[in-house]
Amino acid sequence: MQVFTITNAMSSSPLFTSQTPPPPNGRTSNLSPPSSHRPQPEKLAFLLDKCRNLTQLLQIHAVILRQGHENNPILNFKLQKTCSSIGHLDRSFSLFKRTANPDVYLYTSIINSHSSRGLQLKAFELYVQMLTQGVEPNAFTFSSLLKCCLIKDGVLIHSQAIKLGYDQDLFVRTGLLDVYAKGGDVVSARQLFDTMPERSLVPLTAMLTYYAKHGHLDDARVLFDGMEEKDVVCWNVMIDGYAQHGRPNDALILFQKMLKAKFKPTEFTVLSILSACGQLGAFELGKWVHSYIMNNKIKVNVHVGTALVDMYAKCGSLKDAKLVFDGIIDKDVVLWNSMIVGYAMHGFSKEALQLFDELLFKGLRPTYITFIGVLNACAHAGLVSAGKKFFALMKDAYNLEPKIEHYGCMVNLLGRAGHLDQAYDLVKANVNPDPVLFGTLLGACRLHGNISLGEEIAKFLVTKNLANDGTYVLLSNIYAGVGDWDGVANVRAMMKEKGIQKEPGCTSIEVNNKVHEFLAGDLRHPMSKEIYKMLEEITKLLKVNGYVPQIETVLSDVGVREKEQSLGVHSERLAIAFGLISTSPGTTIKIAKNLRVCSDCHVVTKLISKITGRRIVVRDRNRFHHFENGICSCGDYW
C-alpha cells in the first residue's frame, strides 16, 4: 500500500525545495522561503485531490495558511469538499462559515454534503441562506437538494427549477423523477420520464425501482426488457420486486438469466434470491446460492446470515439453519428472531423458548418479532399458560404494546386449545374489528365444530363488509363438517353472487433445482402417467397397513366412492408420488402447500413415511410437519 504524506510530497517537488542555506547560528529561521520556492495553488489543489485522511488534510491546510492562500476560492472549495468526503462534515461546515461571501459553488458543495447524509433540514436551511444572500442556484444545487427531498419539498424545488430554467437539465429531471417516484406520485414521475429527451441509465433505474417497489411488476418488466443497457442494479431491482411481491418463481427465472448474461450477483442479489427460495421451499437452489456466496467470497455478515437462516428454516432444514446461526459471531436480535421463528414454525417449541432465554442472557432486548416467534411456539404446542405469560411480558417488562399480529397469535393459541370464549373476548377487546383475528377464530370454530359462534362471527364480518374469500370458505366448511349441506349451498350461492372463488390447493416440490407445482387431480405434468401409477401402488400399500379414508373431511355432498377418489388425488399426494419416483431411495422428500394440510392427508403421509422409510417434510399455511417412521413432529396437534 502506498503511504502518502505531505512531507514526502513536498520534498519530492521543486516547489517545496529551498536552496537557502541554514542561518549561521544554527537556529531555524522564521522567515518563509523565497516566493519563487513557495508551493503554488495549483500544486496544493492537486494535493487536496489526492488527500485521503485528516492528517494529510491538516498538513495541507497548514501550508495554505502559512503561504497566505486562505482566500483562494479554488483551494477553499477543495478544502471544504475534501473535509466532507473523508467524513469530517463538521470541519467542512466550519470552513464554510469562515468564508467571506461564498459563491454558488461553495454553497452547492456544502448543501450536497448535508443532503448526501440525509440532513434535509440543514441542507434546506443553507439553501434559504443562499437565496437570501442573493446567490443564484445552478443545476447542481437543485440536483444536490433533491437527493434528500420529500415530495412536498420536491414540488417547491421543481417550481423554482422551472422559474430559473433548469427543469430541462438531465440531472435535475432525474432527481425530480426520483422524488416523485419515492413519494408515490406515479403520474408526475411518468410524465417527467416520458418527456425526457434522452433516458440515461439513472432515470430508467429510478422508474424501474418505483414500479418494482410498488408492485407494478408487469410495467417494471416491460421497462426492464426494453432497456438497451442494464447494470447489476437493474437486475437486482427487478429480481427483488418479484421476490417481495409474491412472484418468487419469476425471481428465480430472472436470476438464472442474470447469470447467463455474465452479471456477477451482489449481496443484495443473494438476499433477494434467498427470500424467493424460502417462499418456494426451493432447498437445493438455496443451497447452491449458499455455495455461490462462499465460493465468491461474499461476506456472510449478519444480514446475509439472517437471510440464510430464514431460507433454510422455510425450506425445512433446521439443521442447516442452526449451522449458519452458530457460525455468525456478532449476532443481532434480528438474527436471533429468525432462528426463534424458524423453530416455532417447525413446532420445535422447547428449542424456540430455550433460544429466547439465551437471547435474554446475552443482554439483547426482544422485539415485536421475537414475541411473534415465542407466541407461535406456544400455540403449536398448546402452551396456554406460557403464552399468556409472554403476552403480558411484552408490555409489563419491555413496554411493547401488542400489535394485531400478537393478538392473532393469542387467538390462535386459545382457539386451538378449545378456549373459544376467551379467544372471542380477546377479539372483541380490539377497538377496530380485524378480519384476520375473526378469521383465526372462525378457523378454531371449524376445528371444534362450534356452529353457533361460527355463524355469529361470519354474520358480523358480512354486515361490516369485512368478509373475504376465507370467511365464506371457513363457514362453508363448518356446515359441511356437520353435514349441513343446505348451509353449504347457501354459502356457496353467496360466494357466486359476490364473485368470490375459493383459493385452490397447490403443492410444490423441488427436484433437480426445478420447482414442480400440483393442483388436486392435476394431469398437466409431463410425468402424470408415472405419478398416477405410483399413487395406485401407494393406495394398495395404505390399505394393507390399515388405512381407512376419512371421507368426512370431503366437504362435498357426493357419494362415498366419489369422496374416496377425491381424497386420493389431493395435491400433496401427487407431489409426494412425484418425489418417490424422481429421487433416490432414502432421500428426504420436502413439499410445500399453500393451504392447511387436511387430516386425511396427514394420516396418509405418516403411513407413507413408515412404508417407504422416507422422511417427509411438509410445509403448509400454518407450520411444518416432519413425518418419520409413521410419526409426525406435530403430535397430531396442528
Last residue of a domain, one of 498, 521, 556: 498
Structural domain tally of the chain? 3
Residue 168: CB atoms within 10 Å: 13
pLDDT at 27 over 50: no
Interatomic CA distance for residues 301 and 267, integer angstroms: 10
Interatomic CA distance for residues 99 and 202, integer angstroms: 34
Last residue of a domain, one of 195, 225, 256: 195
Report the C-alpha dihedral over residues 367, 621, 245, 505, rounded to 10 degrees.
Answer: -170
**Cβ-proximal residues to 21 (8 Å cutoff; 6+ apart), any chain:** none
In the chain, % helix, strand, coil (3-state, to 5) comes to 65, 5, 30
Lowest mean pLDDT segment, chosen from 15-24, 50-59, 359-368 = 15-24
Predicted pLDDT at 575 = 96
pTM: 0.76
User: CB of 54 within 8 A of CB of 25?
Assistant: no
Q: Bridge partners of 515?
A: 510
Interatomic CA distance for residues 400 and 469, integer angstroms: 32
Sign for the CA dihedral angle at 416, 421, 427, 430 comes to negative
Last residue of a domain, one of 451, 476, 498: 498
Q: Is residue 84 part of a domain?
A: yes
User: CB of 581 within 8 A of CB of 588?
Assistant: no
Q: Give the residue, 167 or 367, on which the prediction is more confident.
A: 367
27 CB-side CA count, 13 A? 4
Q: Share the mean pLDDT of the chain.
A: 86
Report the C-alpha dihedral over residues 438, 443, 448, 454, rounded to 10 degrees.
Answer: 50
Predicted pLDDT at 37 = 52
Exposed, middle or buried: residue 49 (CB in 10 Å: 0-12, 13-18, 19+)? Answer: exposed
Q: Is 515 helix (H, G, I), strand (E, B) or coil?
A: strand
Secondary structure of 149-173 in the HEC alphabet? CCHHHHHHHHHHHHHHCCCCCHHHH
pLDDT at 11 over 50: no
pLDDT at 367 over 90: yes
User: Are 297 and 164 members of one domain?
Assistant: no
The DSSP element (H or E) to which 408 belongs, if any, is helix 404-416
Interatomic CA distance for residues 490 and 458, integer angstroms: 13
User: Are 104 and 181 members of one domain?
Assistant: yes
Interatomic CA distance for residues 428 and 64, integer angstroms: 73
Q: Is residue 369 part of a domain?
A: yes
Q: Give the residue, 43 or 127, on which the prediction is more confident.
A: 127
Q: Is residue 238 part of a domain?
A: no
User: CB of 378 within 8 A of CB of 390?
Assistant: yes
pLDDT band (50, 70, 90) for residue 303: very high
Q: Give the residue, 202 or 265, on which the prediction is more confident.
A: 265
Interatomic CA distance for residues 404 and 633, integer angstroms: 28
pLDDT band (50, 70, 90) for residue 26: very low
User: Are 520 and 486 members of one domain?
Assistant: no
User: Are 80 and 98 members of one domain?
Assistant: yes
pLDDT digits (tens, 9 = 90+) for 103-161: 899 899 999 888 888 888 899 999 999 999 999 999 999 989 998 888 888 888 899 89
User: CB of 525 within 8 A of CB of 578?
Assistant: yes
Question: Degrees (nearest 5) of the Cα angle 185, 248, 339?
Answer: 105
Predicted pLDDT at 31 = 39
Q: Give the residue, 383 or 598, on which the prediction is more confident.
A: 383
- What is the domain extent for residue 490? 279-498
Residue 367: CB atoms within 10 Å: 15
Phi/psi of residue 86, nearest 5 degrees: -95, 10
One-character DSSP codes across 430-496: SSS--HHHHHHHHHHHHHHT-HHHHHHHHHHHHHTT---HHHHHHHHHHHHHTT-HHHHHHHHHHHH
Integer angstrom CA distances of residue 507 from 314, 512, 609, 618: 15, 17, 18, 10
pLDDT at 9 over 50: no
Predicted pLDDT at 470 = 77
Question: What mean pLDDT do residues 332-350 have?
Answer: 96
User: Are 451 and 552 members of one domain?
Assistant: no
Predicted pLDDT at 552 = 66
Residue whose C-alpha cell is 408415472 = 530
For the sheet with 631-632, list strands across it.
Answer: 514-519, 506-511, 589-593, 616-619, 624-628, 631-632
User: Are 571 and 440 members of one domain?
Assistant: no
pLDDT digits (tens, 9 = 90+) for 387-403: 999 999 999 999 999 99
Predicted pLDDT at 638 = 78
User: Are 45 and 113 members of one domain?
Assistant: yes
**Cβ-proximal residues to 487 (8 Å cutoff; 6+ apart), any chain:** 475, 476, 479
Q: Is residue 154 part of a domain?
A: yes
pLDDT digits (tens, 9 = 90+) for 247-287: 999 999 999 999 999 999 999 999 999 999 999 888 999 99
Predicted pLDDT at 236 = 97
pLDDT digits (tens, 9 = 90+) for 220-253: 999 999 998 899 999 999 999 999 999 999 999 9
Residue whose C-alpha cell is 349441506 = 485
Predicted pLDDT at 293 = 93
Q: Is residue 227 part of a domain?
A: no
Q: Is residue 187 part of a domain?
A: yes
pLDDT at 434 over 60: yes
User: CB of 424 within 8 A of CB of 414?
Assistant: no
Of 1, 17, 76, give the one whose Cα is nearest residue 44: 76
Phi/psi of residue 623, nearest 5 degrees: -170, -175
User: CB of 630 within 8 A of CB of 541?
Assistant: no
Interatomic CA distance for residues 458 and 513, integer angstroms: 43
Of 581, 506, 502, 501, give the one whose Cα is nearest residue 538: 581
* CATH number, domain containing residue 43: 1.25.40
Q: Is residue 259 part of a domain?
A: no
Interatomic CA distance for residues 190 and 634, integer angstroms: 52
Question: What mean pLDDT do residues 594-598 have?
Answer: 89
Phi/psi of residue 52, nearest 5 degrees: -125, -5
Interatomic CA distance for residues 234 and 389, integer angstroms: 47
User: Are 480 and 351 members of one domain?
Assistant: yes
User: Are 141 and 46 members of one domain?
Assistant: yes
Q: Bridge partners of 617?
A: 590, 626
Residue whose C-alpha cell is 403449536 = 380
pLDDT at 45 over 70: yes
User: CB of 146 within 8 A of CB of 154?
Assistant: yes
Lowest mean pLDDT segment, chosen from 328-337, 526-535, 592-601, 609-618 = 592-601
Q: Bridge partners of 99?
A: none
pLDDT digits (tens, 9 = 90+) for 464-492: 888 777 788 778 777 877 777 788 788 88
User: Are 293 and 411 members of one domain?
Assistant: yes
Q: Is residue 229 part of a domain?
A: no
User: Are 405 and 297 members of one domain?
Assistant: yes
Name the H helices within 245-383: 248-260, 267-280, 283-295, 302-314, 318-327, 333-345, 349-361, 368-381
Cell of 113: 454534503
Interatomic CA distance for residues 374 and 319, integer angstroms: 20
pLDDT at 335 over 80: yes
User: Are 429 and 515 members of one domain?
Assistant: no
pLDDT band (50, 70, 90) for residue 208: very high
pLDDT band (50, 70, 90) for residue 573: very high
pLDDT at 443 over 80: yes
pLDDT band (50, 70, 90) for residue 514: confident
